[in-house]
C-alpha cells in the first residue's frame, strides 16, 4: 500500500501536523489527476495496485493537480483542507518514488519528485516553518 500524508501548518511559528490519509475514517481511495500524467488512483482499502489512466479531454485541472480523497460518504478535495500546505505520496517503488504536491490557496501549486517521504518532510519544513518553533499555548 502507498504511503500518503497530508501536511498542515496551523499558524506561523508552529510545527507541521501530519495526517496519514490511509487512516482517515471511511477512506476508500485517493485520486490524483494531472494534465501531464492523467489520473492515478491509490486504493486505501482491500489491497489492489495503483491504477493509472490517460484521459483525453479529461476533467478540468485546478492548479497543477486535483487531489481528491474518496470516502464512503463523499469526495473531499484535500487542497481545500484548512491549513493544508502539502500532500506527499510514496508508491514504494524504490528511489525517487515520493512526490510532493504543494498546496497554496486551496490548489495544488507545484509538483515535486523526491527521494523519500522523510526527505519530503524536510523540504516541507524548510519551506513552511521557521528555524525555530514555538510551543502551543498552555492550558489553564
**Per-residue pLDDT reduced to its tens digit, 10-32:** 988 888 999 999 999 999 999 99
* Structural domains of the chain, count: 1
Q: Is 28 exposed, middle or buried (0-12, 13-18, 19+ CB in 10 A)?
A: middle
On whether residue 135 sits in a domain, the answer given is: no
Amino acid 51: pLDDT: 77
State the Cα–Cα distance between residues 87 and 7, nearest whole angstrom: 6
On whether residue 109 sits in a domain, the answer given is: yes
| 27 Cβ neighbours under 8 A, 6+ residues apart | 21, 44, 45, 69, 70, 71
Amino acid 58: pLDDT: 56
| Residue 57 structural domain | 3-128
On whether residue 115 sits in a domain, the answer given is: yes
> pLDDT tens digit string along 49-104?
777 777 655 556 778 999 999 999 999 999 999 999 999 999 877 777 899 999 99
On whether residue 18 sits in a domain, the answer given is: yes
How many Cβ atoms are within 10 Å of 8's Cβ, its own excluded? 17
Average pLDDT for 103-115 = 95
Global model pTM greater than 0.75? yes
On whether residue 133 sits in a domain, the answer given is: no
Q: Which helix (H) or strand (E) holds 133?
A: none
Cell of 133: 518553533
Amino acid at each position: 500500500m502507498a504511503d500518503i500524508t497530508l501536511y498542515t501548518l496551523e499558524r506561523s511559528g508552529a510545527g507541521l501536523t501530519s495526517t496519514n490519509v490511509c487512516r482517515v475514517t471511511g477512506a476508500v481511495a485517493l485520486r490524483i489527476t494531472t494534465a501531464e500524467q492523467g489520473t492515478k488512483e491509490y486504493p486505501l482499502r482491500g489491497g489492489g495496485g495503483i491504477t493509472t489512466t490517460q484521459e483525453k479531454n479529461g476533467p478540468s485541472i485546478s492548479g497543477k493537480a486535483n487531489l481528491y480523497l474518496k470516502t464512503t460518504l463523499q469526495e473531499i478535495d484535500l487542497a481545500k483542507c484548512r491549513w493544508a500546505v502539502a500532500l506527499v505520496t510514496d508508491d514504494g517503488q524504490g528511489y525517487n518514488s515520493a512526490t510532493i504536491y504543494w498546496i497554496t490557496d486551496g490548489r495544488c501549486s507545484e509538483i515535486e519528485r523526491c527521494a523519500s517521504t522523510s526527505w519530503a518532510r524536510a523540504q516541507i519544513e524548510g519551506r513552511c516553518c521557521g528555524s525555530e518553533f514555538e510551543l502551543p499555548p498552555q492550558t489553564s
